[in-house]
Amino acid sequence: MSAYLVNSETAVITPPATVLVVGATGSIGRLVVAEALRQGYKVRALVRDLVKAKKLLPPQSELVECDVTLSAGLAEIVRGVDAIVFTLGAGSLRPRTQIFQES
C-alpha cells in the first residue's frame, strides 16, 4: 500500500489514491468507477474492449485494455495502484454457450 494508508489494520485508503477497477464496463463496475471518481479517487479501469469502454466510462478514467485471464502485462497494470476492486463476474470469463436446450 502507499502513503494513502490510513489504518494498517483496516487498510483504509483515501483520495486521491489510485483504484484499479477490474470489470469496469460491467453493470457493477460502471457504478464503482462513477462512485470512486465522485469521491475523488483516481480510477484505472481494466477493460477488454477499449472502444466499448470509451463509450461507457467517464473520460476521467484511465483506461487499460487487457485480458485478465492472461498474466502478460498485469504487473505493469497494478504498478502504482493503491487498491483493487474486482467486479468481474465469472460469467463474463466463460465462452458464450447455450445453457438450456429445447426438448
3-class SS at 22? strand
Residue 100 has pLDDT above 80, yes or no: no
Enumerate residues 6+ apart whose C-beta is below 8 A from 63: 45, 47, 50, 53, 54, 57
Asked if 48 and 22 touch (Cβ cutoff 8 Å), the reply is: no
Calculate what percentage of the chain has a pLDDT beyond 70: 76
Nearest to 89 by CA among 32, 25, 23: 23
**Residues 22, 24, 28, 33, Cα dihedral to 10°:** 110
- Going by pLDDT thresholds of 50, 70 and 90, the confidence category of residue 84 is very high
Cα–Cα distance between 27 and 71 in angstroms, integer? 24
Q: Tell me the mean pLDDT in the region 43-54.
A: 96
Domains contained in the chain, CATH given: 18-92 (3.40.50.720)
Name the pTM for this structure: 0.77
Q: What is the structure's pLDDT at 94?
A: 53
